Structures are given as structure tokens and as C-alpha cells.
Amino acid sequence: MSIHSRLRAGLAMLRWREFAARPGQCPFCGPTVLLRLQRSEAGLRCARCAAGAVQISLGWALRTQVADLGARDVYELSSRGPLVAHLTRHARRLQLSEYFDGIAPGSEHHGVRCEDVQALSFADSSFDLITHTEVLEHVPDDHRAFAELYRVLRPGGLMLFTVPYHPEWPQTLERARVAADGGIEHLQPPAYHDDLLRGQGRVLAWRDYGADLPDRLAAVGFEAGVLPPSPNIPWQLGRCVVLAQRPPGATTAGFRHCERSEAVQCFGSWQISGLPRRCAPRDDGRSGLPANPSVLETDPQAAAQDYRDRIVGPVRGVLPDDAVKGIEEPLCGACTNALPANTAKSRR
Ligand SMILES: [Zn+2]
């Protein structure tokens, strides 16, 4: 019995109020069963590859926007997961990296190249395509990071990425900044996200992006737009994906433009490559600032563990260990403030 079959059989045994499953398409594996382990973005899973909502959203953007991955040199700012596996199979050349404290950028650590996105060690114009998911909110100086990513992209090159994004906010919410003494000055109650390498609740979120995100990209030279969530993702759990292009000069050959039918879902008039400037907020009642600021004071590590237990707990011991691990790993990358917020709600 394959992992896939056992996963489906195991989940079918669950009696969980929020659980749902339906046949669907995964951008990485094709036909699959999509699982909703709970009514939140972090609860979405592909039953075959265990990709979550963020990776699946990025995957669909890749499928619709990049016509010729096999002819492209790609840089992905992580080193594992379903997106990395997909790029490994299909890109002409793939560069991966992680950020490790205390390791010199450009050198390897446990076989993975270390890079600081604020000071990349790559030569100018090294890549055709750059992808990253839930990275830039963790970078102290995102202006420098965007400038560096622009520098290492070739003219006409494309960057697809996700960040916590709230199009209904006029401005990005800066949560922290580097103080004059080099320390961290918190402007909001600190929010920490999980990280596979560093553990639960260990990575500070410096900001949550608002509708000015395309302006921040334009400030370093990008032309940018926001793709609406893919219609292939059910239960309204898809993410908007940001698309930024280093202006090509003459041609955008190789990259397909956004379909008009997708654009009509969005509002705003500034368009580049057929893309809307802003993406309509998801109508799920979870997109605004938390109504109760005290949820942000939840202990992030305890909240993360509690959240993970609620999702994985019911399948632990029911499914094989490797299947449970497959569900746990993407949860480690669940970068969302909804995490402590949902936990706080569930305790009320
Ligand atoms: Zn999949």
C-alpha cells in the first residue's frame, strides 16, 4: 500500500468537523486529492506531495506564467519541499540557498549554499527566474533585498513570490526596525514565525505587506503586479502571488502574460504585463488586522505547538510516521499571523 493510499485511508477514518477532501489538481503532481485538515490556509494539503497552500499557490503561478521552465536558470531561496523538487525536475539549472547565521554568504553549510538576500554573492544577471515563499517579511532591509534580487535577475527575468500580504491595507505594517545601536526596535508587538531550520516561533516577522508592495518593488526598478489566488485551489485557501519583472528592454519572450479572465477578479487600474496592480482581498473574514491586539502577545512558540498539535494530533498514530512527518514539515513553514490569532480564538 502506497503512502498515498494510506494517507487517504487514514484521513478517511477521521471524524473531524473541519476536515474535507476533494479531487483536484496539484501544480506539482497533477491529479490528486486536496485535503482541508482545518478551515484555514495552513490546513490545505495535497495528499500526494503534502504541499501546502503557499507552495501550491506559487506552483500554479509558475505553471501559468512561466512557459518554458526547461530553458530557464532558476534561483529559489530555500532548499527543500515540493516546490524545490518540482524545480529540480524541470528547470534548466537550479540554484538553492538558505540563510545561516554565522556562515559566510557564498559558502556551503551541510551541502546548502548560504546567502543573505540583502547582499547576494551571485554575479549580476545570473538568473532568468527567482522564486521565494514567505521570506521577505523576515528580512530587516527589504529594500536592499529587492535591489539585490533585481541585480541578479537578467533583463526580462521574472520573480514570483509570496509574503503575508494584505491588499486592503494602504501601507505595509512595519513591525520592527533596526535601531541606531544595531539592535531590534519593535514598533508592534513582536510576531514570530516557524522555520524548518531554526524551529518553532524563532523567526521575527519585520513587517506585513500592504497595498504598497508593488511600489516597494518599483522603487528598485521592478515592474510588478499581483496574481489573484488560483481557481484550482478550493475552499478560498489560495494565496495571491506577487509577480515582478526586471524590465526586458525589448522582449518578454518566454513568459506568458496574465489571462484577462484572471484580471477581472481584481480591482485597480495600474497594470503591467496585463496584471492588476492590486488583488482583491480574500473574502474570508480573516484578512484584516486582528480585532484584539492581545492575540499578538500570545507566546509564539506555545501557539505554534498548540496549532500543530491540533492539525497533526488526530492523524498521529493513525497514519504512518513518514506521512505524519510529511504533514508536519509544511506546517513548520506556515508563516502567518493567523497562527497565534487562530489559537487565541480557539481558546475563547
Ligand atoms: Zn502535490
Any domain includes 347: no
Expressed as residue numbers, the domain containing 106 is 56-263
Residues 325 and 204 in one domain: no
Q: How far is the CA of 280 from the centre of ligand 1 (A)?
A: 26
Give me the sheet containing 30-36, strands edge to edge: 20-26, 30-36, 44-46
Any domain includes 14: yes
Report the alpha-carbon distance of residue 329 to residue 45 in Å, rounded. Answer: 11
Q: How far is the CA of 230 from the centre of ligand 1 (A)?
A: 15
Residue 309: pLDDT above 80? no
Last residue of a domain, one of 263, 286, 310: 263
List, as ranges, residues with CB under 5 A of the ion ligand 1: 26, 28-29, 46, 48-49, 51
Residue 1: pLDDT above 60? no
Residues 47 and 64 in one domain: no
CB half-sphere exposure, 203, CA atoms < 13 A: 25
Q: How far is the CA of 347 from the centre of ligand 1 (A)?
A: 32
Residue 252: pLDDT above 60? no
Q: How far is the CA of 199 from the centre of ligand 1 (A)?
A: 24
Any domain includes 172: yes
Residues 237 and 104 in one domain: yes
266 or 137, greater pLDDT: 137
Residues 70 and 33 in one domain: no
User: Cα 225–231–235 angle (5° rounding)?
Assistant: 115
Count of the separate structural domains present in the chain: 2
Question: The CATH number of the domain where 172 resides is what?
Answer: 3.40.50.150
Last residue of a domain, one of 213, 248, 263: 263
Residues 105 and 26 in one domain: no
Element holding 144 (H helix, E strand): helix 142-152
Q: How far is the CA of 29 from the centre of ligand 1 (A)?
A: 4
Q: How far is the CA of 161 from the centre of ligand 1 (A)?
A: 18
146 or 186, greater pLDDT: 146
Residue 268: pLDDT above 60? no
- Cβ pair 202, 215 in contact under 8 A: no
Residues 112 and 242 in one domain: yes
Residue 54: pLDDT above 90? yes
Any domain includes 173: yes
Residues 207 and 67 in one domain: yes
Element holding 185 (H helix, E strand): strand 184-186
Q: Quick one: pLDDT at residue 210? A: 92
Residues 39 and 125 in one domain: no
Q: Quick one: pLDDT at residue 37? A: 85
User: Mean pLDDT score of the chain, rounded to an integer?
Assistant: 76
Q: How far is the CA of 2 from the centre of ligand 1 (A)?
A: 15
What are 35-44's pLDDT values in tens digits?
A: 988 888 878 8
Q: How far is the CA of 83 from the centre of ligand 1 (A)?
A: 9
Q: How far is the CA of 30 from the centre of ligand 1 (A)?
A: 7
Any domain includes 287: no
What are 58-92's pLDDT values in tens digits?
A: 999 999 999 889 999 999 999 999 999 999 999 99
pLDDT above 90 coverage of the chain, percent: 47
Q: Quick one: pLDDT at residue 304? A: 59
Last residue of a domain, one of 263, 286, 314: 263
Extract the C-alpha cell encoding 284.
474570508
Any domain includes 284: no
Residue 25: pLDDT above 90? yes
Q: How far is the CA of 109 from the centre of ligand 1 (A)?
A: 28
What are 108-131's pLDDT values in tens digits?
A: 998 999 999 999 999 999 999 999
Residues 97 and 213 in one domain: yes
Give the pLDDT band (50/70/90) at residue 50: confident
Q: How far is the CA of 28 from the centre of ligand 1 (A)?
A: 5
Any domain includes 318: yes
Q: How far is the CA of 26 from the centre of ligand 1 (A)?
A: 5
Residues 63 and 47 in one domain: no
Any domain includes 271: no
In our burial notation (b when 16+ CB lie closer than 10 A, e otherwise), range 32-56 reads bbbbbbbbbbbbbbbbbbbbbbbbb
Residues 103 and 32 in one domain: no
Residues 337 and 231 in one domain: no
From 78-87, 93-102, 148-157, 257-266, the region with the lowest mean pLDDT: 257-266
Q: How far is the CA of 329 from the centre of ligand 1 (A)?
A: 14
Q: How far is the CA of 52 from the centre of ligand 1 (A)?
A: 9
CA distances from 246 to 187, 255, 303, 326 (A): 32, 12, 39, 36
Residue 212: pLDDT above 50? yes
Q: How far is the CA of 47 from the centre of ligand 1 (A)?
A: 7
Q: How far is the CA of 170 from the centre of ligand 1 (A)?
A: 34
Q: How far is the CA of 86 from the centre of ligand 1 (A)?
A: 10
Determine the average pLDDT of the residues in 219-235: 92
Give the pLDDT band (50/70/90) at residue 274: very low
- Cβ pair 94, 74 in contact under 8 A: yes
Report the alpha-carbon distance of residue 217 to residue 128 in Å, rounded. Answer: 17
- In one-letter notation, the amino acid at residue 301 is Q
Enumerate the β-bridge partners of residue 193: 203
